[in-house]
Structure 1
Amino acid sequence: MKKLIFCCLVVLMGACKDDKKDPEPEADYAPSFVGVYETITVEGGVTSRYKWDITTETKNQLNIKYTKNTEITISGTKVTLNQEYPLVAVKTTAQDNFEINEKVNVTQSTGEALNVRVSGIGSRIVNTNGIPQINITLKSSEASTSLPDEEIYLEFKKK
């Protein structure tokens, strides 16, 4: 009888043993996005050059120095507007995806103050030419004006 009780205890202790090992550390996807990405759009006499300089300081978080340089030709005269959006809390959500959702104080060449909410989900792919790129539908809105929200699809190619 003692042997039977002992065997039951051994089996019971084995069943209660914690089989979980140390949890796997969360993967850091941010470093794979680091680099400079650019794209250009031309529409109705307006040329916009977009540049993202992506860095990382924290696990799964990106900093994007987003610059937008716009040239408008009106009656043969070029008018330019340069804007810088410091995106500092961009979260990587998977190996090839990240999410932007933050309010930004935009620095403009006109000197005028601009506070914008920028949002979108970026997806990294390799295009048919073998060049890494980030595709994103970027949304921006400014609460202080009655201007409509802007939504633009962009394909940033890595330089």
Structure 2
Amino acid sequence: MKKLIFCCLVVLMGACKDDKKDPEPETDYAPSFVGVYETTTVEGGITSRYKWDVTTEAKNQLNVKYTKNTEVKVSGTTISLTQEYPLVAVKTTAQDNFEVNEKVNVTQSTNQALNVRLSGIGSRIVNGSGVAQINITLKSSEASTGLPDEEVYLEFKKK
């Protein structure tokens, strides 16, 4: 009888055991992207300098102050345009990846209003020189002008 009661207690204790483990907290990948990244492109007399100043304020969310300085040389004159794109909801999707998908009110040196949708998937890698960089194909569209969407591939090096 004692053995039967003991066996029942063992079975009862096993049934009452909490099988739920504490859920693992979600990893925050955002801090590893923080820094300043830059790149320059030259195409057909147009030089564009791109800068991303990446910060974070929330878990797995990046804020990017994206600046594009464009210079066009025409007939011995240089025309400059500076555009600032404040990206406030860039989401990290994995340790080395993030997604851009938001509408942005662009501040321009011409003081003209511009509202664009930016989208793309970025990847962080370490290049052959051992420098961290972000590679992204960035798509922009602005419906009100009727201009075609623009798509540019950029390789930002960390400074």
TM-score (norm 1): 0.94
Gaps of 5+ in 2: none
Alignment deviations for residues 64-118 of structure 1 (CA, whole Å, 9 cap, x no partner): 0000000011122111110000000001111111111000000000000000000
Separation in 2, partners of 1:150, 1:115: 14
- Give the equivalent residue in structure 1 for 2:93: 93
Deviation string 1:27-61 (CA, Å, 9 cap, x unpaired) is: 11111111000000000111000000001111111
In 2, the alpha carbon distance for the partners of 1:40 and 1:141 equals 21
Q: 1:145: how far off?
A: 1.4
User: In the alignment, which residue of structure 1 is the partner of 2:122?
Assistant: 122
Q: 2:103 — aligned with what?
A: 103
How big is the shift at 1:7?
1.7
Q: Percent identity?
A: 86
Q: Which amino acid aligns with 1:122?
A: G
How many Å separate the matches in 1 of 2:4 and 2:29? Answer: 53
Deviating 4+ runs (over 6 angstroms): none
* 1:116-155 to 2 correspondences below 5 Å: 116-155=116-155
> Aligned letter for 1:85?
Y
Uncovered stretches (5+) of structure 1, i.e. residues with no partner: none
Equivalent residues, number: 159
Residue equivalent to 2:63 = 63
Q: Using structure 2 for the length normalisation, give the TM-score.
A: 0.94
Name the aligned partner's letter for residue 67 of structure 2.
Answer: T
SS of residue matched to 1:4: helix
- RMSD, matched Cα: 1.4
How far apart, in 1, do the equivalents of 2:143 and 2:8 lie? 69
